[in-house]
Amino acid sequence: MEERHSLDRVARIQADWRRERPDLDTSPQAVIGRLHRLADRLTEELRLVYGRYGLSEGEFDVLCALRRAGEPFERAPGELAAHTMVTTGAMTKRIDRLERAGLVTRRRSADDQRGRIVALTGPGRELIDEAFTDHMRNERRLLNLLTPTEAAALEPLLTTWLSRIDRPEPAAPH
């Protein structure tokens, strides 16, 4: 039983499955399970910073997308949805809340009177500049849990894996 206590949560789950289903290869859990737990923990840590500024993760993303646009810090709602990978319906809710908070404005597009443009307000720009600075400090703190060599090795692996999931190879004919 001593060995069981020295294992992390994922290893204990794998051991349980090996006992219950020895016919299955549970080795993918060693990587996927840990990445899943890591993603959850990282999200918790990142949300702490967003909360300090009264923002949800999604609202933070919208303000960042506007700030990254450069002067005059504006984008169409559909463009914002694409930059933050959410539906236009979810984007509308985020924009509504940010507008009520005085962080963004909406206006008709000069090019297309049916279209709308969302822009950062002065207070919105100040808030996201401060929040993003704090966010980068927090990400640095989290990454510093690894050595520079570990972090440098992890980045290309994650980049490769993510690109393959985002653009899977066509299945080979059987």
Rounded Cα gap, residues 161 and 34, in angstroms: 15
pLDDT at 2 over 90: no
Rounded Cα gap, residues 97 and 124, in angstroms: 12
Give residue 1's pLDDT band: very low, low, confident or very high (50, 70, 90): very low
Count Cα atoms within 13 angstroms, Cβ side, for 158: 9
DSSP for residue 119: E
Give residue 44's pLDDT band: very low, low, confident or very high (50, 70, 90): very high
Asked if residue 10 lies in contact with residue 37, where contact means CB atoms within 8 angstroms, the answer is yes
With CA atoms as reference, report the closest residue to 94 among 65, 60, 131.
Answer: 60
Q: How far is CA 54 from CA 47, 84, 101, 104, in A?
A: 10, 19, 10, 14
Global pTM value: 0.83
pLDDT digits (tens, 9 = 90+) for 154-174: 999 999 999 999 887 766 666
Tokens of 48: 């702490």
pLDDT at 3 over 70: no
In degrees, rounded to 5, the angle at the alpha carbon of residue 163 between the alpha carbons of residues 159 and 166 is 140
User: What is the crossing angle of helices 57-68 and 77-84, to 10°?
Assistant: 110
pLDDT digits (tens, 9 = 90+) for 62-118: 999 999 999 999 999 888 988 887 888 888 899 999 999 999 999 987 766 567 899
